[in-house]
Amino acid sequence: MMPIDLAAIASPETPAVDPAPALAIDGVTHAFGARKALDDVSLTVPRGSFTALLGPNGAGKTTLFSLVTRLYDNRSGSIRVLGHDVRREPAAALSRLGVVFQARTLDLDLTVMQNLVYHATLHGIGFRRARARALEVLESVGLADRAKDKVRQLSGGQMRRVEIARALMHGPELLLLDEPTVGLDIGSRAALLAEVRRLIAREGIGVLWATHIIEEIEASDRIVVLHKGRIQAQGSLPDVLAAGHAADISAAFLALTGAAEASGPRGEEG
Q: Which stretch binds Mg ion (CB under 5 A): 61-69, 156-164, 190-198, 218-226?
A: 61-69
166 binds, among Mg ion, ligand ADP, none (CB under 5 to 8 A by kind): none
Smallest gap from Cβ 251 to ligand ADP, in A, equals 21
Distance CA 29, CA 36 (A): 7
Dihedral, CA of residue 49, residue 53, residue 54 and residue 56, to nearest 10: -160
- In sequence order, which residues have a C-beta less than 8 Å from that of residue 2 and are 6 or more positions away? none
Binding to ligand ADP (CB under 6 A): which residues in 62-101?
62-63
DSSP-H helix ranges across the chain: 6-10, 61-68, 90-94, 112-122, 127-140, 156-168, 186-203, 237-243, 249-256
60 binds, among ligand ADP, Mg ion, none (CB under 5 to 8 A by kind): ligand ADP
Q: Which stretch binds ligand ADP (CB under 6 A): 8-16, 61-69, 107-115, 246-254?
A: 61-69
DSSP-H helix ranges across 4-51: 6-10
- In sequence order, which residues have a C-beta less than 8 Å from that of residue 252 and are 6 or more positions away? 225, 233, 240, 241, 243, 244, 246
Binding to ligand ADP (CB under 6 A): which residues in 187-226?
none
* Contact call for residue 61 and ligand ADP (CB under 6 A): yes
* Contact call for residue 180 and ligand ADP (CB under 6 A): no
Q: CA angle, 63 as apex, 57 and 66 as ends, to 5°?
A: 140
* Contact call for residue 158 and ligand ADP (CB under 6 A): no
Distance CA 17, CA 170 (A): 27
Pick between residue 61 and residue 80 the one whose CB is nearest to Mg ion.
Answer: 61
* Contact call for residue 270 and ligand ADP (CB under 6 A): yes
58 binds, among Mg ion, ligand ADP, none (CB under 5 to 8 A by kind): ligand ADP
Other beta carbons within 10 Å of 142: 15
Q: Which stretch binds ligand ADP (CB under 6 A): 50-58, 75-83, 140-148, 164-172?
A: 50-58
* Contact call for residue 62 and Mg ion (CB under 5 A): yes
Quick one: which of 251, 200, 255 has its CA closest to 227? 255
Distance CA 244, CA 247 (A): 9
* Contact call for residue 51 and ligand ADP (CB under 6 A): no
37 binds, among ligand ADP, Mg ion, none (CB under 5 to 8 A by kind): ligand ADP
Q: Which parts of this chain interact with Mg ion (CB under 5 A)?
A: 61-62, 270
